[in-house]
Amino acid sequence: MRRRRHHSDQGLDINMTPLIDMIFILLIFFMVTSSFVRESGVEIERPVAATGSEQTPSIVIGIDASNRVWIDGQTVDIRNVASWMENIKADNADTAVVIASDRMARSGLLIEVLDACRSAGIANVSVATKNE
């Protein structure tokens, strides 16, 4: 009859520390190298109005603090705003336009954009504000 040998399990421990270290290093690497997507748009700080109502605008024209005019996320020269509005009105005659102007923008530029919208034949033009 043979005797069975019993092997001890004392020397078979697996050291998990290097694996955990590598996982944390990879995690930190991916967190640091990842790029966060920022939604493109115009940063505007709107003026405050005591009375006002919210509307769902069809077209938003933005004027930022550096006096650039934006339509549909594209910078537009002030001389071309009227032609843009004529094209938009040709697509939809009942187009509502909301002008979101930064409070630090030149007020004369706001007037020029309003005039361009009116000259294009758009009747429903309003200026966006935020409630107090």
| Within a domain: 4 | no
Average the pLDDT over 91-100 and give the result. Answer: 84
Provide the pLDDT for residue 11: 64
End-to-end CA distance of the chain: 96
**Which residues form the domain of 118?**
48-131
Average the pLDDT over 73-96 and give the result. Answer: 86
Sequence-separated (6 or more) residues with CB below 8 Å from residue 120 = 82, 83, 85, 86, 88, 89
Say if residues 116 and 81 touch (Cβ distance below 8 Å).
yes
| Within a domain: 111 | yes
Residues of the chain above pLDDT 70, percent: 80
Q: What is the CATH number of the domain that holds 85?
A: 3.30.420.270
| Within a domain: 42 | no
| Within a domain: 73 | yes
Say if residues 99 and 111 touch (Cβ distance below 8 Å).
no
